[in-house]
Chains A and B, each alone.
Chain A
Amino acid sequence: MSTPIIEFKNVKKRFGDTTIFSDFNFTVEENEIVSIIGPSGSGKSTLLRILMTLEGIDGGYINVAGESLWHMHWQGQYVPANSKHLHKMRNHLGMVFQHFNLFPHMSVKRNITEAPMRVKGVSREDAEKSAEKLLNLVGLADKANSYPNDLSGGQKQRVGIARALAMKPSILLLDEITSALDPELVDEVLDVIRNLVKEDSFTMLLVTHEMYFAREISDRVCFFDKGAIVEEGKPEEIFISPKHDRTKAFLNAYLGQ
């Protein structure tokens, strides 16, 4: 078996007096699509935010692509990562946010080209060509010169996906990407992800409340509660024959079975 692309080992995370993870272990294989479901406050989003280096950890280790995310070797010792190390590690990761977080002062096109040009040194020509392709992929080729505030929520989120993909991350983190959308706009965003995984292989970690989507797209589903994985398995196992009472109760509430 190959080394996992993401590995959490005995990870601890606290917010003040609240413990999110007391001893968390978790792995994701390369090109695996993993959905994380569970009640709010169970640490689902925190997991993604730690991976994206938006939150630090209070103990344990995390490996991404075979290298420690939050630590580095320095003079023969294992020390907390500096900004240079984090900068290097972030190249592996991309994230799409619940509230889009598009840059409102930039056109749609610049939202997508800015990071490849400034961070990776891609030429303007190449960046714009690739932005064009990405906008085609998400069905917004005609919106290149619009500003985020002129777009609907679904369109914003599709730009958010294009923007994350422009950096060519090997791991894509999707943090409740349809939770802030009107119900009728959810599908246009999920369709983009469906097409994406059809055309290319991705390592993808998604936190979602769209149970049918999770079931359809995932290789594995993890049910989270109180900072731990209560139950995980193939989508059919989790959705059709969950073993734990807590999983059953959660799915019942969600799917109304």
Chain B
Amino acid sequence: MNAQVPAGGPARSTYDVIVIGAGPAGMAAATTAARAGLSTLVLDENTVPGGQVYRAATTSPLAGGTVLGADFAKGAALAGGLATSGAEVIQGATVWSLDRDLVVGVSRGGASRLLKAGRVILATGALERPFPIPGWTLPGVMSVGAAQTVLKASGLVPSGTIALAGQGPLLWLLAAQILRAGGTIRAILDTTPKANYLAALPYAAGFLASPYAFKGLALIREVRAKVRVIRGVNRLEACGTGALSSVRFEARGVTQTLALDGLFLHQGVVPHVNLAMAAGVEHRWDEVQHCFHPVLGAGGTTSVEGLLIAGDGAGIAGAEAAVERGRLAALVAVKALQPEASGLPVLAEVEAALARATRGRAFLDRLFEPQREYRIPTGDETIVCRCEEVTAGQIRQSIAVGATGPNQLKAYRRCGMGPCQGRLCGLTVTELMAEERGKTPEEIGYYRLRAPVKPVSLAEIASIPPDDAAVGAVVRG
């Protein structure tokens, strides 16, 4: 797809290990596997390694400065390790297919290849949870992660009158980064319900002992000193005709309106499951994180033999944990394919590091549990499927005439059938249908996903080598 990326595809057609994604988990996994002597290929969609959390780790115009914070430098260290590991790294590569035989379909520079792997480590990370409020499709409304991406990669700071709305660690981090970069924020509209503080309290001890506690609290203090924070925000709504002009919300029972140029939304991140689901990996509903996550064995093994999942795609745990999970997955691959390899990370040490890195997650999960009204639109006019422009009301009507789950809903309304393949509506659809039908999200299930998990040109599909059976199955007089 990326015709502007210079040519230079994978050197071989089979590898011991193919790692998909070059965020913290993918970088750590590939580095470990390659150092053990396994032929290792990394396929990453971005132009440089880093993933989202360490986006542009090696190229950011703000790298080394104070804006992005000290943790950002860890990305460059991981990228440095990857660069010298012996792994082959291909950037600008979109993986659009992965099957049970561990055949990977990858597109780059307008040409596709099918590659075979002994083991595949999926490190496709997370994406921001859908935040379906009225007006969330208006130009001028973006996700917090989007603003952070352009800040890291291009040194772009939001200007004009802006607000951040939602909850979660990333929201506070972006706010601090905007302020450090000289930007201003009209308000933070904090949607964390009061009840979450009580629900999180039993887990506070673990959190206070975690690496996040000190940093997180300092960040919030830094932001609160400069920005008006409005707490307990309900009925959030982006308003405008053709573009955002204001945000409306209720706080302490009073409806308020703020004129805005930009509104940045965030309510946490969820595993990016598309490729794993398309490959047939079994997933389950997570009642705390309100999302599907893959069912995993030790080291990230899945229901598909030879396919491992590491990082936030395995369940949200953050960048530090992602590194350790990446190493664990690589160790599983090394043990199977190169058992005599030496100089590897020590399993027990990696596991201990993972335990340290995940300390405090239970607290964060509960504190930042998104409330129902921001997961399931209350009004009927709110768009749920951004691609096909399907509203919550149309989904409810479909349920009324017989749609029982997301796949029948597709047939009724094309919901989830656009180019994003349900990434921006899938969880909303599952929870909305569960609520309407009085079922659990697990019972409702998810879209049945298939390759291509990202659009790929007809010419690229046509360039896959055919076989006689395929010709015989298609051509007839």
A and B bind = no
